[in-house]
Amino acid sequence: MSKIKPSKGAPYARILGVGGYRPTRVVPNEVILETIDSSDEWIRSRSGIATRHWASPEETVAAMSVEASGKAIADAGISPAQIGAVVVSTVSHFHQTPAIATEIADRIGAGKPAAFDISAGCAGFGYGLTLAKGMIVEGSAEYVLVIGVERLSDLTDLEDRATAFLFGDGAGAVIVGPSDEPHIGPTVWGSEGDKSETIKQTVPWNDFRVGDVSQLPLNERGEIKFPAITQEGQAVFRWAVFEMAKVAQQALDAAGISADDLDVFIPHQANMRIIDSMVKTLKLPEHVTVARDVETTGNTSAASIPLAMERLLATGKAKSGDTALVIGFGAGLVYAATVVTLP
Of 53, 93, 183, 268, catalytic = 268
CA distance 16 to 75: 7
Question: How many H helices and E strands in the chain?
Answer: 10, 14
CA distance 160 to 293: 23
Determine whether 93 is an active site residue: no
Of 29, 53, 93, 122, catalytic = 122
Determine whether 287 is an active site residue: no
Determine whether 219 is an active site residue: no
Where helices occur in the chain by DSSP H, the ranges are 29-32, 40-47, 61-76, 100-107, 124-138, 233-238, 244-255, 272-282, 294-297, 304-314
Dihedral sign of CA atoms 160, 52, 331, 211 in order: positive
Residue 287, exposed/middle/buried by CB under 10 A (0-12, 13-18, 19+)?
exposed
- The tally of CA atoms less than 13 A away on the side-chain side of residue 282 is 34
Of 53, 93, 183, 299, catalytic = 299
* Cis amide leading into 98 (omega within 30): yes
Q: Which amino acids are annotated catalytic?
A: 122, 268, 299
